[in-house]
Structure 1
Amino acid sequence: MGTAEMGARGEDIAVDWLEQHGFTIVDRNWRCARGEVDIVARHQDGLVFVEVKTRSGVVGGHPLEAITRTKLRRLRHLVPAWFAAHPEHTAGHIRIDAVAVHLIADRAIVEHVEALV
C-alpha cells in the first residue's frame, strides 16, 4: 500500500471513529495556499480541526511524532483561513485535535488526542 493510499485509509478510519464518538463531519481535506486541514468536525458546541496521521506496522515511530511544532503552527494559521472560506460556520469553541491510526496486520488501532494547542 502506498503512502497516499495509506493516508486516505487512515482518514476514512478516523472519520468513522469520530462519527461513532459523537462528532459530525463538516469538511474533509480542505486546502488553501497555506496547507490542508484533514478533517473539520462539529462536536458539542464547537468545531474541531483534526490532523490525522497514519502508520503501518511498528517501524517508523508513533504517528503523532509527525506532528511537529511547525505543523502545529501551520494548523493554527489554517483555522482562521478555513473560517474565512466558510463564513456560514460559527463555533462556541474551537479546538485542534489529532487522530493517530495504527494499521497493524488486518486491524486498525485509533488514538484520539484532544486539544493539541
Structure 2
Amino acid sequence: MMKVWQTHCSVPIKSLVLELRSVEFLKSWEHAQSSTTYYDWMVRDFFAELIKKANSWHTIPGTSEKKQYGDTWLSKAQSAHGRAIKACEYELAGKQLSAATEWRKIFGGQYEF
C-alpha cells in the first residue's frame, strides 16, 4: 500500500525505506494481529511513525551500513497522515463516500486493497 502511495503522490523516498519501516512498524503495532477492519488505522498510524523517522538513521539488514532517511518526503507524508486521519474520522461517522475521497487522494482510484 505504501508503494502505491509513493507512486501515486510522487513521493521521493526509497522503496527499501518503506519496506524496512513497514516491517518494523508491524512488529510493534498494537493491532497487527487484528482483522482487515483495522487497515484504516494501520495506514494512519504508519504515516505517523514514518513522520517521526525524518532525518533519522537506519541500518541496512545483513550489513552494518547506515543510511539516513532524509526528509524530502516529509511534507507528502504529513499530508497523507492528515488525509488518513480525516478518512478514519469519516468512516467512524458513517460517511463512507467522504472517507473514500480522502483515501483516493492518498492512493489514487485505480487500486483495490
TM-score (norm 1): 0.34
Q: Whose helix proportion is higher, 1 or 2?
A: 2
What is the TM-score normalised by the length of structure 2?
Answer: 0.35
